Structure 1
């Protein structure tokens, strides 16, 4: 296919199919606060809940909708009552949505949903690996609706308060700062946490089990703590202690932290780690006492800035969360251990990208995906991280970091899509980045490059050929002329299928290395 025609198709597709993971939004409505009152017990897995949702309206709505998975056999929630303020609300329940018809044209309203049932997902009610009963919120991406009436999409974030009634033997940690712990009746207690910063439901959580906890330290007056199973007390406190150092790095280099605390919690979770806002969950097996989870901890803490505070407005742009967390983990490790670690991590990620592409040819922003459960892939993690690595190399470290900081401060506690990030980086860089984002974010694949070289009369003669069949990439490529322990570097620009270059060289090099410092995503083809 001619390149110009393909570029036109990419442009048309990217602008007409803006979001393919469809969610029917409450237009003109903004949830400002959730208050979730939950009663948990040891006799059954039935939970009893009362959720109050405070809403601000910019226009008089005909209806307001909340997600909640209804009762269907053993699992799901039964609604017992819906109130608007102190009065009975006008409401219906259809296809796992609570549909409320507000009674007047007021600019604010408060709705309360009383419900009960057994959640099939979202709230994991299980035994820990040590056989102790536990309750863990595990909402990502759209599982909050299994146990919380809510707008279950990151576009509408809100402050949240959890009021958890439990048997007295449990310890409770949740999104926000603890504001109360009271033994209210014999054998039971109430624990309350409140987070004033707006949080998406995907990263709201609770953890209820027998914990050992320790304050690991403070950064900018933010308490950083570890919550682990008592049987793993010493190992867990040791493994999670690096969170203080990680927090210092990100606050210093990106900007202020948004949440009331940072708890690091050993948990039952379907993920290796889940970046819940201010209360991160790590898989049970993360605790070993061998301090092997520094990269995992850095990834989940990076999410507090990217994904949690600056959130994707559309699920198809989830690389703004996962790609960022992947690369900012590498940046943290590079800062601590040196550039060799950056190169090592990126070489590994590049291998995974190439292997994934062989089975799943798709782009970073993939508008063909229609289910939020399917948006995560090697593209959104590793390739998204590689996009940032190449962008950093293109515009330089100072401009890159200035752009990152401006992007964060602009979209802190807000939402963005890729076009928003691109615009911020263009403002700081002072030039268009349209071609860069089109190639690396919206186009399938990467350059597949066949190369050869020879030395002739003071020159290294290079030949390059792009052999991928769908697109011709335009990119800079660093060339390393190897002389023993020394590498002399020069940069060429590849923008055609077949190209020849002459590089000055006084003597014949021992070898020629393409991309010696690991800045470019491409596949070498023999």
Structure 2
């Protein structure tokens, strides 16, 4: 197992990059009545150095859906309007923030076409970024297209017949845009005018211009051009990306259909910034994405999912991003082979699980439509749907979904209906639990072999109160051989499976990487049973906390919910910790029988019960089994002293919260005192003839007081006295990475983040952003220190925020949250 120490330095800044910003505010998807349909945009625009100001006109051709006398359009409030005409007639208007309300000179009836021409100029407050020698429009988030051209800026109203873009720039720049370049005109003042035309339906946020001193690389693929607009010095990298483009396109052509815009071009371009964007027919890659095969696959997949088929609203961004993120995995597999596909799925799952642990957001109607839950958990939705219905149905259904909604908008309901048509069964439950509910199945698994049966107990541990209906596969390992059993269906909080199998050397959950989940796997002989018999209190929490920190597998049995544990459960565990808290009459005759059963089976028992000596005073169970005699004394003394040389007391001292009355006892002939308040006021006793410790002091009531031991040392002493062993983790291959919510060591080394790793096996350290995408990676082995200054492979410093470091060797991986 990988041994590692991760040292982290932190600054509490929020990650604010690209498509992910949890603090970003989004416009509602439809705030205005919309009774017309946009047919075409004709944008004529000039960008002025230093590329923070623009001037232009937008001609919008639209068709009335209802009888209308006025319409709303969007244009950034920072722009001055020079002119506004409808059908070549001046029109009046009012403005409210970024919305223009236009009074039509004449009534438009359903089916009537009309033109709106708006002249404007200003400095965009959003949607325009400087880059190297030029600029790019950046409109993927918060409907920013309106800040550089007038439009109806909602994703569900595509311009049905496309967009014409006339771009004027200084003559050292080449502006790449949507569609095909018709001509270039030379203008006065060392300017050039580029005339672009795109004839396919397009939504506003996919309309774009990127301008720089580009070097244009071009090749032909299946009869249409593949282009790359490269920054000088990066041509060889661009050629490599064109090579991988052909591999990825070949896959998507087969899985979905031929490239949606093949009569024009498939282009890609370098830009500044750190994000990538699927602008229609001309993808933009920020610096950190230039050499990323997975991002390359993601953006190319958007040509089908997001561009040709677009989500109906941002609340359904899953249609774009979740679907594309799964095809990203498929494309990564085409580039890196089947293991590359699985590795990328695992990486997506790790980032999404960590995101779920922090935000607890659903995929649909997510507070942030560009969160990791929408991308990577959305990808896992598709992966699990594919596993459920099979390749023979999944891929044809996705083709049908594409063909049905190509050029338009689609909803999750549209996807569900097509999937149900192919599958022939209802899928409401599947779509609901993965897209509407939050979080994931958090599985606690215990297995044991009894007679001829392999028994596997599974409990869903998530605290949302919702239990997933899931197919689970188990990997049974016999030396180096894997036998997969399942899928076995679970649709409740707990279930026990019994299989006719020989005893495996180990057992894993989801060995073939099919389920979005976390799982902790253990075997009872390496586990401890905590019996929570405190009447609904929280005394059991301290035992859970301590035993978990000591590495024990745990099962907590809540007597309030389930009654007393059956004998068949008790005998599976190497020890039982039983707590009754401050219940006044804690032990019924049935409970006493259950405790006697544990003792008769020589199962180590640690019994914590404050009022038991009072209730059972004079009983043989108290004197002959527990080893104590109630003497009628009580104390509120705080200092609890351990007996010198006793394995439980161990010469220690504890500070007990003084507000609680403790009913002490004398020691009977069969007992040995371990800790006391006063000379004759005993609080902890053990029976040397059996593995039994009894305490009237609950671990939760021992305070962390300077100069005294904590409850942790008491429980550790009891564990050592019982000679209990911690089992080896049972799911080394595919155990979901655990998020460590504390920092072991902090290094402040000139602002760098320092990783100190002790790795027995060859190990890879990777740094991810919150979307689960790799930022940096290193191969490590042995005892090594790595300093990272927070930059990408090109040396560009990344924004401050939350990142994840993942350590992975051939058999395991751990994940740590860090903040820089």
Q: Same fold (TM over 0.5)?
A: yes
Shift of 1:275: 0.7
Distance 1:500 1:375, change over 3 A: same
Q: Take 1:43 and 1:348, find their aligned partners in 2: how far apart are those partners?
A: 40
Secondary structure class of the residue paired with 1:27: coil
- Distance in 2 (CA, whole Å) between partners of 1:146 and 1:186 is 26
How far apart are 1:257 and its partner, in Å? 2.3
Within 1, Cα distance between the matches of 2:351 and 2:376? Answer: 8
1: distance between equivalents of 2:318 and 2:504?
40
C-alpha spacing 1:263/1:335, structure 2 compared with 1 (3 Å): closer
Normalising to structure 2: TM-score of the pair? 0.57
Whether the aligned pair in 1 keeps the contact of 2:178 and 2:207 (CA below 8 Å) is yes
Map 1:133-282 → 2, pairs under 5 A: 134-141=134-141, 142-158=143-159, 159-185=162-188, 187-219=190-222, 221-259=223-261, 260-269=264-273, 271-282=274-285
**Aligned-CA RMSD value:** 1.9
Change (3 A) 1:105 1:498: closer
The SS at the match of 1:241 is helix
Q: 1:255 to 1:25 in 2, by over 3 A?
A: farther
User: How far has the Cα of 1:448 moved from its partner?
Assistant: 1.1
Residue by residue, what CA displacement relative to the aligned partner does 1:182-237 show, whole Å, maximum 9, x if unpaired?
A: 22446222111111111111111111121011113323x33111101123233333
Quick check: 1:414 aligned with 2:408?
yes
**Preserved contact between residue 248 and residue 334 of structure 2 (Cα < 8 Å):** no
In the other structure, the counterpart of 1:110 is 115
Task: Classify 1:227/1:307 alpha carbon distance in 2 versus 1 (closer, same or farther; 3 Å).
Answer: same
Q: Name the counterpart of 1:477.
A: 472
Aligned equivalent of 1:503:
499
Query: Matched residues in 2 for 1:227 and 1:20: separation?
Result: 33
1:489 is aligned to 484
- SS of equivalent to 1:197: coil
Asked if structure 1 preserves the Cα contact closer than 8 Å seen for 2:171 and 2:190, the reply is: yes
Scaled by the length of structure 1, the TM-score of the pair is 0.89
Report which stretch shifted further, 391-400 or 456-465: 456-465
State the shift of 1:335 in Å. 4.0
Q: Secondary structure at the match of 1:230?
A: coil
Which protein has the larger Cα radius of gyration, Structure 1 or Structure 2? 2
* Unaligned residue ranges in structure 2 (runs of 5+): 1-25, 521-552, 554-820
> For the Cα contact (< 8 Å) 1:69–1:146, is it kept in 2?
yes
Aligned pairs for 1:21-420 within 5 A = 21-42=28-49, 45-70=52-77, 76-102=78-104, 103-106=106-109, 107-124=112-129, 126-128=130-132, 132=133, 134-141=134-141, 142-158=143-159, 159-185=162-188, 187-219=190-222, 221-259=223-261, 260-269=264-273, 271-287=274-290, 292-366=291-365, 369=367, 374-420=368-414
Q: Which moved more, 1:510-519 or 1:328-337?
A: 328-337
Structure 1: distance between partners of 2:362 and 2:51: 45
**3-state SS of 2:497 partner:** strand
Secondary structure of the 1:40 match is strand
1:183 counterpart SS class: strand
Judge which range, 90-99 or 189-198, deviates more.
90-99
**CA 1:42–1:472 in structure 2 vs 1: closer, same or farther (change >3 Å)?**
closer
Describe the SS at the equivalent of 1:199: coil
How far the C-alpha of 1:384 sits from its partner, in A, is 0.3
SS at match of 2:363: coil
Gap change, CA 1:120 and 1:241, over 3 Å in 2: farther
Provide the rounded CA distance (Å) in 1 between the counterparts of 2:346 and 2:170.
50
How many angstroms apart in 2 are the aligned matches of 1:419 and 1:471? 22
Going from structure 1 to structure 2, the CA distance change for 1:336 and 1:483 (only over 3 Å counts) comes to: farther
Mapped partners of 1:335, 1:458: distance in 2: 44
Distance 1:20 1:416 in 2: 20
CA distance in 2, matches of 1:111, 1:241: 43
More helix per residue: 1
Q: Relative to 1, partners in 2 of residues 1:45 and 1:359: Cα closer, same or farther, differing over 3 Å? A: closer
Q: Distance in 1 between matches of 2:398 and 2:244?
A: 24
Structure 1, unpaired ranges of 5+: 1-18, 71-75
Distance of aligned partners of 1:480 and 1:155 in 2 relative to their CA distance in 1, 3 Å threshold: same
**Structure 1 residue 424 displacement after superposition:** 0.9
Secondary structure in 2 aligned to 1:252?
Answer: helix
Query: Could you tell me whether the CA contact under 8 Å between 1:266 and 1:286 is conserved in 2?
Result: no
Once the 2 structures are TM-superposed, how far is the Cα of residue 299 of structure 1 from its aligned partner? Answer: 0.3
2: distance between equivalents of 1:273 and 1:46? 23
Displacement after TM superposition at 1:489 (Å):
1.5
The alpha-carbon distance between structure 1 residues 184 and 267, as it changes in their structure 2 partners (threshold 3 A), is same
Rounded to whole Å, the distance in 1 between the matches of 2:32 and 2:242 is 38
**Per the alignment, in what secondary structure is the counterpart of residue 198 of structure 1?**
coil
